[in-house]
Amino acid sequence: MKNFIYTLVDYINQLELDFPVRIGIFDDDKSLVVKPIEGSVVVHEYMNGMMDIRLPFVIGIKSKNQEEAFNVLSDVINHIRNISDFLNSEGEGCILLRMMINQIPVFESNEDGYFYYSSKLTVDLTVT
């Protein structure tokens, strides 16, 4: 299994958004990022080498258009709910156990003229 963050980015890219999707930090212009955050844990390790893991992420968006940022991030969140089918079709070597998503994006802004929204996503997987 490749690092799950790349799987997540590949899945979001299927939406063909007008936002570059990156790992980690925002572009200079509008962008959408997926960032791993503290709290990854092995929940259970099986005798056959399989593991149940918990992976927390933040999905963030940056845009000068507040409504666009909110709507695009909301669409991404709704799309991610269906990632289980993608994992099965791509042979990712993992099984989705549970997903927890902060449904309402958190808003921030600063003096650079951009609007920022983010939502926390926690994924529990069995890695085969």
Say how many domains are in the chain: 1
DSSP state of 90: H
Q: Which of 91, 90, 101 is nearest to 124 (CA)?
A: 101
Residue span of the structural domain in which 44 resides? 4-127
Contacts of 113 (CB under 8 A, 6+ apart): 64
CA distance 44 to 51: 6
Could you report the per-residue pLDDT of 17-60, keeping only the tens digit for each? 999 899 999 988 999 999 999 999 999 999 999 999 999 999 99
Helix axes 66-80, 4-13, angle to 10 degrees: 120
User: Domain with 12 in it: what CATH number?
Assistant: 3.30.2000.10
pLDDT value, residue 90: 65
E strands within 1-128?
A: 21-23, 31-36, 41-45, 51-63, 94-101, 106-109, 115-127
Mean pLDDT of 116-126: 95
